[in-house]
Amino acid sequence: MSEPILKIENLHKWFPLRRTITQILKGEHVWVKAVDGITFNINQGEIFGLVGESGCGKTTTGKLLMKLLEPTDGKIIFKGKDVTHLEANKLKEYRRNVQMVFQDPYASMNPRFRAQDVLEEPLIIHQVGETRAEREKIVRRSLEEVRLIPPEEFMGRFPHMLSGGQRQRVATARTLVLSPSMIVADEPVSMIDLSTRAEILHMMKTVQRELGLTYLYITHDLSTARYFTDRIAVMYLGKIIEMGGADEIIDEAAHPYTRALIAAVCEPISGKSNTIKEIPIKGEIPSAANIPSGCRFHPRCLYAKPQCQEEEPILIEIEPGHMVACHYPSV
């Protein structure tokens, strides 16, 4: 196994919540524990998937890695250096190395910018390329990398002249102009057509292989995560509850929550329209401002025992490379 390019240690992000007067007088604080102590490594050249339901802290994790947010606690180590707190000049260098792309072709481009302007902007900000011609060369190369060929045909186009898939290619090309070593790709619960999404993922995988990039891929969709990633971490209410090889997580899930997620996925297979599919989970996801005691999944877990309410399970390795945080994992 290759060296980790990124190490996350016990990372926390708590957002303060507005307090009532009584709470202020009593000196009580209320926190939204968006990211509540996560630890993982991403290896050089790997696609690492972060999966979980809306509000579980995926985007916050991505933003912490991008250093768009200051962590409440914990460490981020990138290429062996502690980057948890960086001064402005170091931060700029870090951001050249780690780029973020939002998987939303409809929201990610300024309507008044041509594709060329979109790609040139980060070059100007980071003072890459002495002359216009030099910058244009880089822009061309990036467009070719995302298969917008010939680049001349696309450089002058405004967003409305591009399809959803092409727009996402431009957004990806924008992250590539600075030759980063790592890309954080955040895909929200979205309305993107499946065929467009397949096109985007196919393109991203090709680029990743060719350039040897490392990805953190954020999604709510296990089916695409299985296709797209090497390893998967499943998050629930700010914590990683299971982590391992993509195939292992799907085929040998050990955490009751992962198993419920898997059971809920629709598959394009015939003969199910008349059956009710039982999903082994209770109720709805609680608020991140009010995290249950012990195992945070216990109010929804069908297998919860008294211990689960009191003691928080920690991530332990049940198979080489397969970690689970549950007192009673199924194996």
Ligand X SMILES: Nc1ncnc2c1ncn2[C@@H]1O[C@H](COP(=O)(O)OP(=O)(O)OP(=O)(O)O)[C@@H](O)[C@H]1O
Binding site for other proteins (CB under 8 A): 53-54, 163-165, 189, 191, 193-199, 201-202, 220-224, 226-227, 246-247, 250-251, 260-274, 276-277, 279, 281, 284-285
Kindly write down the DSSP assignment for every residue of 40-59, as one continuous string: EEEETT-EEEEE--TTSSHH
* The entry of ligand X, Mg ion, other proteins, none that residue 140 binds, CB within 5 to 8 Å by partner kind: none
* The entry of ligand SF4, other proteins, Mg ion, none that residue 295 binds, CB within 5 to 8 Å by partner kind: ligand SF4
* The entry of other proteins, ligand X, ligand SF4, none that residue 58 binds, CB within 5 to 8 Å by partner kind: ligand X
Q: Please identify which residue in 48, 50, 56, 59 interacts with Mg ion, judged by CB under 5 A.
A: 59
* The entry of ligand SF4, ligand X, Mg ion, none that residue 56 binds, CB within 5 to 8 Å by partner kind: ligand X
* Contact letters for Mg ion, residues 162-201 (x by CB under 5 A): ----------------------------------------
CA–CA separation, 295 and 317 (whole Å): 17
Provide, rounded to whole angstroms, the least separation between the CB of residue 235 and other proteins.
Answer: 12
* The entry of other proteins, ligand SF4, Mg ion, none that residue 59 binds, CB within 5 to 8 Å by partner kind: Mg ion
* The entry of ligand SF4, other proteins, Mg ion, none that residue 256 binds, CB within 5 to 8 Å by partner kind: ligand SF4
Provide, rounded to whole angstroms, the least separation between the CB of residue 225 and Mg ion.
Answer: 14
Q: How many helices (H) and strands (E) does the chain have?
A: 12, 12
DSSP class of residue 282? -
The residue among 127, 129, 157 whose CA lies nearest residue 143 is 157
**Which residue lies nearer to other proteins by CB, 135 or 300?**
300
Residues found near ligand X in the complex (CB under 6 A): 15, 32, 34, 52, 54-60, 188-189, 220, 288
CA–CA separation, 261 and 263 (whole Å): 5
The residue among 5, 60, 68, 67 whose CA lies nearest residue 38 is 60
CA–CA separation, 49 and 82 (whole Å): 23
Tokens of 300: 């929804």
Measured between its terminal Cα atoms, the distance across the chain in Å is 25
Residues found near ligand SF4 in the complex (CB under 6 A): 256, 295, 297-298, 301, 303-304, 308, 313, 326-328
Residue 144, classed as helix, strand or coil, is helix
Provide, rounded to whole angstroms, the least separation between the CB of residue 237 and ligand SF4.
Answer: 11
Provide, rounded to whole angstroms, the least separation between the CB of residue 50 and ligand X.
Answer: 8
Please give the sequence-ordered ranges of beta strands (E in DSSP) within the chain, or none if there are none: 4-16, 31-43, 47-51, 73-78, 81-82, 98-102, 182-186, 214-219, 231-236, 239-245, 316-319, 322-324
Provide, rounded to whole angstroms, the least separation between the CB of residue 261 and other proteins.
Answer: 6
Residue type at position 103: Q
**Which residue lies nearer to ligand X by CB, 13 or 114?**
13
Cβ-proximal residues to 319 (8 Å cutoff; 6+ apart), any chain: 244, 248, 252
**Which residue lies nearer to ligand SF4 by CB, 104 or 242?**
242
Tokens of 307: 């211990």
